[in-house]
Amino acid sequence: MKNIIFTFKDGSPKYKQIYEQFKLFIEQGDIRTDEQLPTIRQLAESLQVSRNTTLMAYDQLVAEGYIRGEGRKGYFVNELEPALFQQGTAPRNEQQTESTTPVLVNFRADAIDQAHFPLKAWRRIANRILTLQESFQYGDPFGEVCLREQLAAYLFQSRGVKANAEAIIIGSSTQQMLIHLGHILKEDFPSVIVEDPGYDGAREAFQFHRLHFETLPVYETGADFSQLGQMQSRLAYVTPSHQSPIGVSMSIQQRQMLVHWANEIQGYIIEDDYDSEFRYTQRPFPALASIDAQRVIYLGNFSKCFLPGIRLSYMVLPQPLLNRYKDRFRHFESTASLLNQLTMAKFMEEGEWSRHIKRMRLIYRRKMQHLAAGLKNEFKENISIIGEQSGLYLLVKVHMEHSEEWLIKQASSYGVKVCPTSLYVVNNYSVRPIIKLGFSSLSHEEIQLGVQLLKKAWS
């Protein structure tokens, strides 16, 4: 094969430049079909780069079909039609070039740890459930009694919520339950107080019913209740145990203030307790619904703490709303899988759920600490970390003269996917950009690599 001569340019990762140069050689026919490429070690030595750099370039070429790996023989060029690349080839714009960068580390916040998922226990129970007669029928429109009974016991033990199984409704997701709930609330409650910043999925559900918004500002120090008494809404949606996305927890004084407000105006609080299982410094805080079950609508789910694809959520309704809800939806089928409900009920009954939560709390705490320590070591005073006490993600406030868009784009160019927080904001924007880093699905090695790549990207 002809000698490969590279002149590296500043501003672009070296693996990306190697990948693009080989891609050009292949498309132009300079490297022919079935021709063998240099080994990873040979190429690394000739270009004076690390083996990991050349491996990343080859991996991308393999993924796109330009080359193939043949075991211990090495890498070879696949057959292409060079003329297709030579005719009408337009210069690639910046966006197209970026899309070819492989994602090496994805700090997504919507995934769980696959390596420690209790697959054997879940499969064993699920197989047994499929032998039961009730698995071959339509289920209860409000959720299977066996799961509602298990949830009632669990909520009392873990969250202090005294709930009768009849008051629990099972559904497929938090958004779906909010949309259903909106049908029985919108006539009496034309507006709702939402946290700012706050969960955008809840706002979308409220907008579905054309509810008007009033905003409750939330900062790193907590929510600002100073204007609560002047607001017109009698309905409030909050995430008190682990505010989404800021991560702060509502103090007992604020919880009592909010419950007092709801009683005084005869309103309701929708408490979204989406990931309260994972608190790393103290025991999970008692739920708002444990203070006043008559004025709090309690929401929970199995997506964050167990498996997103299971599509199981639940809510506990105060009696007046429960009667209206059942009257409205008694003729509708359940939106949650019958098989998953029955399996989860038995999973909880046999103690597998409690064992899983205890195990994952320890695993996620170690990942949280590893990520936080790595960020502090690499960035020092250039960042502030928000939300180390609980949850499955960290927020990073960046004290550099860069926008959120630039930080995300630059991270992507180095193969790191990070998440914005601006989408959670209504009006209460931060002076400095804040980036969201989920860690639950990553190994310690991936977390370390991701932090190192972010250091290079943002420097």
Residue 4, pLDDT score: 61
The region, left, alpha or beta by phi > 0 then psi within -120 to 50, assigned to residue 330 is alpha
Q: Please give the Cα distance from 349 to 347 (Å, whole number).
A: 6
Two structure tokens written together for 5:
């001569």
User: Over pLDDT 90: what percentage of the chain?
Assistant: 69
**How far is residue 402 from each of residues 110, 173, 198, 450, measured CA to CA in Å?**
26, 36, 23, 19
Helical spans, DSSP H, in 209-251:
none
Please say if the pLDDT value at position 90 is more than 50.
no
Q: Please give the Cα distance from 304 to 271 (Å, whole number).
A: 16
pLDDT tens track for 165-215: 999 999 999 999 999 999 999 999 999 999 999 999 999 999 999 999 999
Please say if the pLDDT value at position 92 is more than 60.
no
Residue 30, pLDDT score: 81
Please say if the pLDDT value at position 388 is more than 80.
yes
Question: Could you tell me the pLDDT band of residue 32, with boundaries at 50, 70 and 90?
Answer: confident
Residue 283, pLDDT score: 66
Mean pLDDT of 445-455: 96
pLDDT tens track for 245-299: 998 988 889 999 999 999 999 999 999 998 888 888 766 677 899 999 899 999 9
| Residue whose C-alpha is closest to residue 197's, from 179, 220, 181 | 220
Domains of the chain, earliest start first: 14-99 (1.10.10.10), 106-115+355-458 (3.90.1150.10), 119-350 (3.40.640.10)
Q: Please give the Cα distance from 457 to 451 (Å, whole number).
A: 10
Classify strands 235-238 and 268-272 as parallel, antiparallel or unpaired.
parallel
pLDDT tens track for 209-243: 999 999 999 999 899 999 999 999 999 999 999 99
| Residue whose C-alpha is closest to residue 31's, from 69, 63, 1, 3 | 1
Please say if the pLDDT value at position 414 is more than 90.
yes
